[in-house]
Amino acid sequence: GEDVEQSLFLSVREGDSSVINCTYTDSSSTYLYWYKQEPGAGLQLLTYIFSNMDMKQDQRLTVLLNKKDKHLSLRIADTQTGDSAIYFCAESFRDNQGGKLIFGQGTELSVKP
Partner 1 sequence: NAGVTQTPKFQVLKTGQSMTLQCAQDMNHEYMSWYRQDPGMGLRLIHYSVGAGITDQGEVPNGYNVSRSTTEDFPLRLLSAAPSQTSVYFCASRPGQVYGYTFGSGTRLTVV
Taking CB under 8 A as the rule, does residue 45 contact partner 1? yes
In order of 2, 59, 68, 78, 84, the CA distances from 71 in angstroms are 14, 22, 8, 23, 23
Which member of 16, 66, 80, 98 binds partner 1 (CB under 8 A)?
98
End-to-end Cα distance, the chain:
41
The minimum distance between CB 11 and partner 1, in angstroms, equals 17
Question: Which residues ranging from 17 to 36 are in contact with partner 1 (CB under 8 A)?
Answer: 30-31, 33, 35
Our finding on whether 105 is near partner 1 (CB under 8 A) is: yes
